[in-house]
């Protein structure tokens, strides 16, 4: 079953074509690693999926619902409903600095008013345990390490029970000794069959954890497939050059 269906996605900034007719699907339980040089359009692609950017053409379907179809966006309330099915984790965490860990986790579900306060509290404490931060619920983000902040951001994204999690270089802003703890949380999620798209420079993670790798360059998907094909036996010169860099 397809969670994300992208076809012929187009996006330009002025004269700069950043996404050139991109198409791909993400099926339930897939872990898709997106790799490629800086400036190739990876962030723009992810941000378009969650409607932080508007595309100029093409279609995005999420769990069968059209976010945008042939360049025409659905109505605002439908868009809102569709984007809550996706959780996003950013390079720079984007936690609310004036809220505690627990408040960061509980804010979106409380605003959505779909569940009782006690159900929300129960889930936030379960997720804090999952990311190894039980006991830090009253801490503010400024008092956490980068690795802890990113683990909180992942838990926050999971609070809305999304169909898919999107990660944009989740470990790129971390000191090297803190990347492992974040990658471990992501690996645990993959083992629990969470559907994920991960833009990453961590080639080891892509090779070990991804079910599929997409290589992007200059606004295009150059090749995609199983990590053992794309990363070990790339078919295109541009992929080879990137992997050998
Ligand atoms: P990546 O994440 O692969 O590094 P991006 O999606 O961030 O690539 O950027 C793709 C291209 O679009 C780059 O050339 C970048 O400079 C340009 N770009 C990104 N965001 C904007 C923006 N808001 N305005 C103008 N150009 C942008
Ligand atoms: Mg980027």
How does residue 23 score in pLDDT terms, banded at 50, 70 and 90?
Answer: very high
Cβ atoms < 10 Å from Cβ of 22: 23
Strand-pairing partners, residue 17, are 12
Q: Residue 82 in 3-state DSSP?
A: helix
pLDDT mean over 124-153: 96
ipTM: 0.98
Nearest Cα residue to atom 7 of ligand 1? 43
Give yes or no for a contact between 196 and 31, defined as CB atoms under 8 angstroms apart. Answer: yes
Could you tell me the CA-to-CA distances from 137 to 126, 140, 155, 179 in Å, in that order? 12, 8, 12, 22
pLDDT reading at 95 higher than 90: yes
Query: How far, in Å, is the centroid of ligand 1 from the Cα of 157?
Result: 24
Question: pLDDT, tens digit, for every residue of 45-60?
Answer: 999 999 999 999 999 9
Burial of 225 from C-beta contacts in 10 A (0-12 / 13-18 / 19+): middle
Nearest-5° Cα angle at 152, 148 to 157: 150
Question: Which atom of ligand 1 is the closest one to the Cα of 45?
Answer: 6
Q: What is the pTM of this model?
A: 0.96
Question: How far is the centre of ligand 1, averaged over its atoms, from the C-alpha of 215 (Å)?
Answer: 16
Closest C-alpha to ligand 1, atom 1: 39
Kindly indicate the confidence band of residue 113, based on its pLDDT and cuts at 50, 70 and 90: confident
End-to-end CA distance of the chain: 36
In this structure, the residue with its CA closest to atom 14 of ligand 1 is 39
- Nearest atom (ligand 1) to Cα of 37: 3
Pocket test of ligand 1: the residue of 9, 11, 13, 15 to mutate, having most ligand atoms within 8 Å of its CB, is: 13
């Amino acid at each position: 079953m397809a969670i994300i269906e992208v076809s012929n996605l187009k996006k330009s900034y002025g004269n700069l074509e950043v996404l050139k007719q991109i198409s791909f699907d993400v099926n339930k339980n897939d872990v898709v690693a997106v790799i490629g040089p800086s400036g190739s359009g990876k962030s723009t692609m992810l941000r378009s999926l969650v409607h932080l950017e508007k595309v100029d053409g093409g279609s995005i379907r999420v769990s069968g619902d059209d976010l945008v179809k042939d360049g025409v966006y659905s109505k605002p309330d439908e868009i809102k409903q569709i984007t809550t099915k996706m959780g996003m984790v950013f390079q720079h965490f984007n936690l609310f600095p004036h809220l505690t860990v627990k408040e960061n986790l509980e804010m979106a579900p409380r605003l959505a008013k779909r569940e009782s306060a006690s159900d929300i509290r129960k889930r936030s404490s379960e997720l804090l345990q999952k990311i190894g931060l039980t006991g830090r619920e009253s801490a503010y983000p400024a008092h956490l390490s980068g690795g802890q902040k990113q683990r909180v951001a992942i838990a926050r994204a999971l609070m809305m029970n999304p169909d898919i999690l999107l990660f944009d270089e989740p470990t790129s802003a971390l000191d090297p000794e803190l990347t492992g703890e974040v990658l471990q949380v992501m690996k645990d999620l993959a083992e629990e069959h969470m559907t994920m798209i991960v833009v990453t420079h961590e080639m080891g993670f892509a090779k070990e954890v991804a079910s599929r790798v997409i290589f992007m360059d200059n606004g295009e998907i150059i090749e995609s497939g199983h990590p053992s094909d794309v990363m070990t036996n790339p078919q295109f010169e541009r992929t080879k050059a990137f992997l050998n860099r």
